[in-house]
Structure 1
Amino acid sequence: MTKRDAFPGWDWDDPDGLARELDAFSERVAGCEKLEATAESVPYDRDDFLALGLTGIEFAAFRTAHPEGLGTDLAVLRSADGTNASRPGTLYRVDGDRCFTQLDISEPLPFADASVDWVYAEHLIEHVTLPVAVGWLREARRVLRPGGVLRITTPDLARYLNGYVTEDGFLARHRRRLGMLGFGPPMPERKAFLVNQIFRYFGHQWIYDLDELRHVLGLAGFDLAAIRSCGYRQGVRPDVADLDTAFRTDETIYVEADR
C-alpha cells in the first residue's frame, strides 16, 4: 500500500480532518522489531543517562540518528510482534540500538535538573500552542547542563510571506516538495492556500519567525544574548546540527540557545 492509498478520503479543504488522518497514520507506523525496557526511575538523572551512553534528547523522534541521543514522542511505540508497547515513565532500547521514551511535552519532563548536554527538536514547536511551547522550552532549559545547547528548527513564517508577496517561486517549490511525501492528491496551487496550510495543516498551532522564537525562548528563561540563528547543519555542536533533515531546508529556520 502506498501512502496515497492509505488516505482514500483526503480532502485539502478539511484541515482538521486531515490532522486526524495524519495522527492515525503516525500511530500505525510507530513500530519497531524489538522494544526492550532498560530503566524505570523517574526522574532520570545525569548518571542514568550516562549509564545508557546518552548525552542528549531529540524530541519527536522514534529513532534518533544521534548515537548518544534519547528519542521521544507522544505516540506509543510498539514491537512488530505486538507483545510490547511503550508507556510513559520507562526508557526503552529500540532494536538493540537507539533509546526511546514516550512523553507529552505539555507535561513536566521526567528528567532531573542539569541531566543532559543538548536538546534537539525538528519541526515540533509549531505543533503546540504558545503557552505549551513556553512551558516545554522552560523544561528543556531546566534539564540542560550549564554550557549545554538547545537547537530547534521550525517553518519560517517570513519565508512564506515573502514568497507570497514577491512571487519568487518559493510557494511553487514548496508545493512540489510536499507532493514528494506522497500524502494524498496534489496540493492546490493557490497562493492563499499555500500560505494558509502552514497555519492550518499537519496539526500546526503557532508559526514563528526569528523574533517570535526569541520571544518564547526569552519567556522560557534563556538569555536573549545567547540565542542565535544558524544555517542548515551549522551550529555550536556539529553532531547535533547534523540531525537537521535536508528535505526541509527550503522553509526552515534554525535557532540555537545556550544554557
Structure 2
Amino acid sequence: MSKAQPSFPGWDWDDPDGLSVHLDDFSADVATCDKLEPVGALPANRREFLELGLTGLEFAAFKTAHSQGLGTDLAPLRSPELTSEPGRLYRVDGERSFTQLDISEPLPFADASVDWVYAEHLIEHVTMPVAVGWLREVRRVLRPGGVLRLTTPDLARYLNGYASDDGFLARHRRRLGMLGFGPPMPQRKAFLVNQIFRYYGHQWIYDLDELRHVLVRAGFAAEDVRHCGYRTGLRADVADLDTPFRTDETVYVEADR
C-alpha cells in the first residue's frame, strides 16, 4: 500500500463513481478567493464590455490571467464573506472580473460582443450536443475577425502512448500526482487510459478531427480551424493563457469568426 493512502481514507482509484464525491470536494476547495466584490449587472453588449475594460471571455476560470478577460464557471466562487450568484458581475481579489454561468444555456451577451474566447480543458466535461450548442453561442458573441481558442486532452496522445509504451502514461501519472487530490494512481496502462474517460466529470474525449467536427457543426468554417502549439496562436495574449502543466496531454485548436 502506498504511504500516501492513510491521508485519503476510503479512496479507491478503481471505483470512479465512488470517487466522484471526493473529486467534487476537491473542485469546491479550488473555487475560493480572498475577496469577492459584487459589481452589478453583466455587460450586455460590446460597448458595455469595453466600458468595463473587458475584451474577451475565459470559460472555466475563477480568476482569469487575462487583464481584459471576464472569467466564468458553472460553480459558484466563494470568499469568506460572499458566494457568487448567476447573472451578476464580480471583482475577484481586486484584480479580475468573474461571472457564474452555465454553458448549456444561451450566453447572456449580445451578438459580436467580444474579440476573443478561451476555454482550457472544458469541452470534455459536457456531452457533444451541449458542446455544439455552446460553440454556436461562442461564435455568435464573437466579433467578425475574433478568435476562439480551445484546449482539451488529446485522445490520440493517450492511445499512442498506450500502443507505443513511449513513457507518456507514466509521465502523465506523475503529473496528476503533483496536483495532490489523491494517493498515487495505479501504474497499469489500461487504468491510465480509462481515467481520462471516467474521471473528473469527463463526458466526451476529443482528438483533432473530433474538435474540427464539433466546430464545423457549430458554424465555424473548416478552413478557419487551425491546429496550434502550446502558447502559439493568432493572439499572443490569448495563447499565453495556456497553462504549462497540461502540455503533455493537450491538443490546441483555434477557430476564427
User: Paired residue for 1:33?
Assistant: 34
Compared CA separation, residues 176 and 28, structure 1 to 2 (3 A): closer
- Name 1:212's counterpart in structure 2: 210
Partner of 2:16: 15
Deviation at 1:38, TM superposition (A): 1.5
Gaps of 5+ in 1: none
1:182 to 180, 183, 200: 180
The offset of 1:120, in angstroms, is 0.2
Per the normalisation by structure 2, the TM-score is 0.95
Residues 62-86 of structure 1: per-residue CA shift (max 9 Å, x gap): 0000000000011111222x2x221
Cα displacement (A) at 1:222: 0.4
Give me the whole-angstrom Cα distance separating, in 1, the residues matched to 2:21 and 2:91: 29
Between the aligned partners of 1:111 and 1:201, the Cα distance in structure 2 is: 32
Match in the other structure for 2:59: 59
| Greater mean alpha carbon deviation, residues 172-181 or residues 28-37 | 28-37
Secondary structure (helix, strand or coil) at the match of 2:179 reads: coil
8 Å CA contact 2:8–2:183 kept in 1: the answer is no
Q: Which residue of 1 aligns with 2:68?
A: 68
Residues 22 and 6 of structure 1: CA distance in aligned 2, closer, same or farther (over 3 Å): farther
Distance in 1, matches of 2:7 and 2:99, equals 27
1:44 maps to a residue whose letter is: A
The alpha-carbon deviation at position 5 of structure 1 amounts to 8.0
Work out the CA distance in 2 between the residues paired with 1:101 and 1:6.
34
Q: How far off its partner does 1:213 sit?
A: 0.2
One-letter amino acid of the structure 2 residue matched with residue 125 of structure 1? I
TM-score by length of 1: 0.94
Letter in 1 for 2:194: N
Give 1:204 shift: 0.6
Partner residue in 2 for 1:93 = 91
Q: Give how far 1:39 is off.
A: 2.6
Q: 1:239 aligns with which of 216, 237, 240?
A: 237
RMSD of aligned Cα (Å): 1.5
2:148: which partner in 1? 150
In structure 2, relative to structure 1, the CA distance for the partners of 1:247 and 1:139 (3 Å cut) is: same
Structure 2: unaligned runs, 5 residues or longer: none
Cα distance, 1:7 vs. partner? 4.3
Distance 2:17 2:64 in 1: 28
- Written as runs of structure 1 = structure 2, the 5 A alignment for 1:75-90 is 75-80=75-80, 82=81, 84-90=82-88
Counterparts in 2 of 1:98-137, with a 5 A limit? 98-137=96-135
**Deviation of the 1:6 alpha carbon:** 7.4
